[in-house]
A = this chain, B = another copy of it.
Amino acid sequence: MSSEVYSRFIERVKELNTTRAVQALLEWDQETYMPPRAAQDRARQVALLAGLAHAQLTSDELGGLLEQLERQGVGDDWAAKTNLREIRREYERAVRLPRSLVEEIARTSTLARNAWVQARKESRFPGFAPHLEKLLELKRQAADLIGWQTERYDALLDEFEPGAQAARIQRIFDAVRSELVPLVAAISQARRQPDRSIRRRHCPRDAQEAFNRRIVAALGFSFEAGRIDVSAHPFCTGLSPCDVRLTTRYDEQYLPMALFGVLHECGHALYEQGLDAAHTWTPMAQSVSLGIHESQSRLWENQVGRSRAFWQHWFPQLQQTFPSLADVSLDAWVFVINTVEPSLIRVEADEVTYNLHIMLRFDLERQMLEGRIAVRDIPQAWNAGMQALLGITPPDDARGCLQDIHWSMGIFGYFPTYALGNLYAAQFFAAAQRALPDLEQQLARGEVGPLREWLRQNIHRHGKRYRADELVRLVTGQALSPQPFISYLHAKYRPLYGLDT
């Protein structure tokens, strides 16, 4: 009996996630191949599927099956337990929000997004402010309906990082900040600096494309179960473990954009392709959280992709592919791809300054949500924060508080997952180094198989079996800590910039 009920439950769950996979394809197509005039029609298609997914998730049938299964239990089957727990969580989040509120948030963010585009173009925050105000009010309502214990922000954060709590993140961020701010200042004043012009050498697009394909294939990305395309804003989307698509963009005068962009997205893709296909379209074949997802992209992009060991193997091939780099030494290359400099735009920030950008947003979001800061004061608070954290002040709002799209889409609680990703990455990589004492030598020989398989076994294949917290403990032997990230930065950047000499 239980097994028959469970089968019906899983059938409904698979339908729900099949619908979402189709939605993901619509969005992928929109960013890659859709003809421009189709934009309005596409919005209608996306809305139809979003409505369908919502109806599937909140259906009485699914609710009834959840109840029935919870009453009778699913025994010791941890896959069933995981699926039940995660769908209950999604179901609760969905049914607590009345349709009218969901629709009002959707309508308001459509207007807000248009206003943001215009405001950013004109670099005039007041044009966006009333929309942000309204969105905040709606999101406060949503957070209260969803429910929270310590603070309202947690209800929103939970959508992207299940189980995370703002207060705990705050403590970790504080520890990171107190190390980062002086480190960034020291680096800025260091006498040794990389030759930044190396990044600007001409590299033909076709050769970039071929090289990137070679490198991700070597990392273990399967082109039988995935693709690489071009889009204005790089991303990775997994329709299923058998269909994982990443995108990039090319600049012939700035090789690192596509190269490290692809390494980053490939990290996401390896996670998606490493999920257990036997559980496709159930939580058991879904990523833990955005933070854990980001840890996989950052680990391959930074811990691996910006390491000297990695380039010992790949740099000769890079030079062969791009004759413009023929006279560059391995040391100069490793130095320039690890350039640290305070900058205005988050998405262009290096791995040392990046988290400071996030901390500023995290602070402001929490204050906004609690009404501890007036929306009209955001620009001033932003600029003061940038000055305090990075020692620079944006010349205008476009390069300041208007730079990111998230708030205009009503997304609050998302930014911290980027920084969590950096912390998880460092902590996972340190555990991998302990488990694979030969790791650095392996990377220097171009052998990435052991690291990838270690990630697969320890992280990817579990799907949502463990929450982020539990997974980190299980894999690294301790709770999330700022220490591995801080140690990693010091160990890497102090010698690079000659800070201890």
Contact = CB atoms under 8 A, between A and B. Distances in A.
A222 interface: yes
A84 to B, nearest CB: 22
Given A52-B52, A223-B35, A224-B36, A41 B25 contact: no
Interface stretch (A238-246, A327-335, A366-374, A446-454): A238-246
Interface residues of A, number: 38
Contact of A25 (B14, B26, B226, B240): B26
Contacts of A36: 224
Given A29-B29, A36-B224, A37-B224, A15 B243 contact: no
Given A29-B29, A52-B52, A239 B22 contact: no
B35 A21 contact: no
A240 B35 CA distance: 11
Interface in A106-122: none
A41 B227 contact: no
A197 interface: no
Nearest to A36: B224
A393 interface: no
Nearest to A29: B25
A145 interface: no
Contacts of A21: 41, 45
Identical chains bound together, number: 2
B227 A35 contact: yes
Interface in A217-266: 222-227, 229, 239-240, 242-245
Contact of A41 (B34, B229, B243): B243
A45 to B, nearest CB: 5
A41 B244 CA distance: 12
Nearest to A38: B243
Nearest to A226: B35
Contacts of A38: 225, 239-240, 242-243
A38 B272 CA distance: 13
A98 B33 CA distance: 38
B18 A45 contact: yes
Contact of A22 (B35, B40, B49, B223): B49
Contacts of A18: 44-45, 48
A49 B49 CA distance: 10
A167 to B, nearest CB: 41
Contacts of A22: 22, 26, 45, 48-49
Contact of A225 (B37, B44, B244): B37
A312 interface: no
Contacts of A245: 35
A204 to B, nearest CB: 16
B225 A15 contact: no
Contacts of A224: 35-37
Contacts of A239: 38, 41
A479 to B, nearest CB: 36
A123 interface: no
Given A19-B48, A48-B19, A227-B33, A240 B41 contact: yes
A306 to B, nearest CB: 29
A280 interface: yes
Contacts of A41: 21, 239-240, 242-243, 280-281
A62 to B, nearest CB: 15
Nearest to A51: B15
A222 B243 CA distance: 30
Contacts of A34: 243
A200 to B, nearest CB: 29
A15 to B, nearest CB: 6
A158 to B, nearest CB: 29
Nearest to A18: B48
Contact of A242 (B25, B37, B243): B37
Given A38-B225, A38-B239, 12 more contacts: A19-B48, A22-B26, A22-B49, A33-B227, A34-B243, A35-B223, A35-B242, A35-B245, A38-B242, A38-B243, A40-B242, A52-B52
List 7 tightest A-B contacts by C-beta distance, closest first. Answer: A38-B243, A37-B242, A37-B225, A41-B240, A38-B242, A37-B224, A18-B48
20 contacts: A15-B48, A18-B44, A18-B45, A22-B22, A25-B26, A25-B29, A29-B29, A34-B243, A35-B242, A36-B224, A37-B222, A37-B242, A37-B243, A38-B225, A38-B240, A38-B242, A38-B243, A41-B240, A42-B243, A44-B281
